[in-house]
Structure 1
Amino acid sequence: MLLQKIIDEIKEIPESRQEELYRLVQEFRHRDETVEPYNTPEEEIIEGIREGMRQALAGEVIPLEEMWEDIDVD
């Protein structure tokens, strides 16, 4: 049984790496729940572009120097 093989492998993982494994399993489990950009319906994409243009024309913009604030890039 495949599940038992997975469980047996997990038992061999050092405790120091268990948190990392847990996050990986969560990420894997929830991966199918996220919408991939290439699966976005055309109408939704077009509406997003229209909304962006409306915001830009109305002056609802973020200054470029503020755009990357609070974004942690390693």
Structure 2
Amino acid sequence: MKAIETTATINDQGQLALDQPLELAQRRRVRVIVLISEEDEPDPDDTPNSVVMDGLRQGFHEALTGQTIPLSQMWDGIDAE
């Protein structure tokens, strides 16, 4: 079985409307698991645009000014099994 994660909206009739179409080769029946955030639980997909833009600006600045590390060093200290 293959899993695909995507986002959707539940309309007034209780039906799911996917934000993006699924790229599948053929029509078929699927199983759906719906995860709904609790009222006081922030949605991880709701990062404010200003926060995202600040992160992108910082990343571009670091890349342009040479404040980078080799990819091979990024794995140092990570215990992969």
Q: TM-score, normalised by structure 2?
A: 0.44
Q: Which has the higher strand share?
A: 2
Q: Which structure has the higher relative contact order (CA within 8 Å, separation 6+)?
A: 2
